[in-house]
């Protein structure tokens, strides 16, 4: 399939193969290559392109530079009932967070709830990927992470919080989960990079220049606005929640103390924290009641009255629609990512078909 600019679509299967092959070729062990590819493909499959395969080039650079270990040793360093702390050993955030959610689900299976704090991690890509792992197994999954400062406070004029995502996935019988995956900034910084690559103008009031003045020019962006526009104190508060769970609880660096993701130093670990939580729905009652409640909720939501020309959707509905289309037709790779893939392919002897 070819788009209006004459660019070919690349199948999701081919993108998965290419990413795995490049990661293995650069020296990542199999578990790291698998986790990183799964996380990136979650983003690309569901239309979260800012956190999809466009991250491959950056991940290869930090793996090669030593910031992220290619074969990390992860271990549980603290356990108390339904709580664990996982030391990621400066491994990739995707491997750390998939591992942590596996542990959280196991704990929830025993106690009804399981929480795992993550230490010494790194950028993990799309937060929804990890919450979805819980939902696929019938559990409610929560994922939080902080990141280096890039978001001003409400009324502020300097970087304070990271984009500090929050993701929640809730299983629903016989259909896709309810999935909320959001940055607590108005948009994630990776979307700014994507807009720079495509020459697209930013929406209103989502980013600021170095003086804290709103700008729609992606090239002029120095910081992001908190979620909420005129009520941005709500987004700043949610960012603070993610900050406390990810950094304060785990003893990791606060956003304003984390070295920049895009810095020139690709050798020094950044020391990120993260936090995941899994809940077993039928621990509170019976599964049939939970399933009926979710089905009733989603049915009424999707069939509720709409304003003229509008449509209501449950969180995740857009993502499932995009995934269905991309499973069928593949995806167009943006120009900057296509160029990076070409260079990676030449360096590691891997060819991208499409």
User: Among 2-11, 68-77, 205-214, 262-271, which range has the highest average pLDDT?
Assistant: 68-77
The 10s digit of each residue's pLDDT in 95-132 is 999 999 999 999 999 999 999 999 999 999 999 999 99
Q: Given a cut of 90, is residue 206 above it in pLDDT? A: yes
Average pLDDT of every residue of the chain? 95
Which domains occur in the chain, in start order?
Answer: 72-330 (3.30.1370.60)
Mean pLDDT of 184-209: 88
Average pLDDT over residues 321-349: 96
pTM of the predicted structure, to 2 decimals? 0.93
Q: Does the pLDDT value for residue 7 go beyond 80? A: no
pLDDT at 1 over 90: no
Task: Kindly report the three-state secondary structure assignment for every residue of the chain.
Answer: CECCCCCECECHHHHHHHHHHHHHHCCCCHHHHHHHHHHHHHHHHCCCHHHCHHHHHHHHHHHHHCCCCCCCCCEEEEEECCEEEEECCCCCHHHHHHHHHHHHHHHHHHHCEEEEEEEEECCCCCCHHHHHHHHHCCCEEEEEECCCCCEECCCCCCEEECCCCEEEEEEECCEEEEEEEECCECCCHHHHHHHHHHCCCCCCCCEECCCCCECCCHHHCCEECECCHHHCHHHHHHHHHHHHHHHHCCCCCCHHHCCCCCCCCCCCCCCEEEEEEEECHHHCCCHHHHHHHHHHHHHHHHCCCCCCCCCCCCCCHHHHHHHHHHHHHCECCCHHHHHHHHHHHHHHCCCCCC
Report pLDDT for 117.
98
């Amino acid at each position: 399939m070819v788009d209006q600019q004459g660019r070919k679509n690349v199948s999701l299967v081919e993108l998965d193969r290419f990413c795995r092959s490049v990661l293995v070729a650069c020296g990542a062990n199999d578990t790291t290559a698998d986790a990183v590819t799964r996380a990136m493909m979650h983003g690309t499959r569901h239309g979260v392109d800012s956190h999809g395969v466009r991250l491959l080039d950056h991940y290869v650079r930090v793996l090669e530079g030593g910031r992220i270990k290619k074969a990390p040793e992860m271990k549980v360093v603290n356990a108390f009932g339904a709580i664990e702390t996982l030391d990621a050993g400066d491994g990739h955030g995707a491997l750390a967070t998939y591992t942590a959610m596996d542990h959280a689900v196991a704990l929830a299976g025993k106690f009804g709830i399981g929480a795992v704090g993550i230490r010494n991690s790194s950028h993990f890509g799309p937060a929804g990927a990890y919450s979805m792992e819980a939902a696929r197994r019938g559990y409610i999954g929560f994922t939080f992470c902080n990141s280096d400062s890039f978001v001003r406070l409400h009324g502020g004029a300097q970087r304070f919080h990271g984009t500090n995502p929050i993701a929640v996935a809730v299983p629903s019988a016989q259909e896709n989960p309810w999935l909320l995956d959001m940055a607590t900034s108005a948009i994630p910084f990776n979307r700014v990079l994507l807009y720079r690559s495509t020459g697209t103008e930013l929406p209103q009031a989502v980013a600021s220049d170095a003086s804290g003045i709103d700008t729609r020019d992606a090239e002029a962006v120095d910081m992001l606005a908190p979620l909420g526009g005129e009520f941005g104190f709500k987004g700043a508060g949610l960012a603070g929640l993610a900050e406390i769970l990810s950094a304060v609880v785990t003893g990791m660096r606060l956003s304003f103390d984390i070295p920049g993701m895009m810095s020139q130093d690709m050798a020094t670990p950044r020391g990120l924290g993260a936090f995941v939580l899994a809940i077993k729905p039928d621990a509170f009652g019976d599964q049939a009641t939970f399933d009926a409640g979710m089905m009733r909720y989603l049915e009424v939501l999707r069939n509720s009255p709409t304003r003229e020309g509008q449509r209501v959707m449950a969180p995740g509905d857009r993502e499932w629609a995009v995934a269905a289309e991309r499973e069928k037709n593949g995806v167009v790779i943006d120009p900057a990512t296509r160029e990076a893939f070409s260079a990676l392919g030449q360096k590691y002897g891997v060819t991208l078909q499409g």
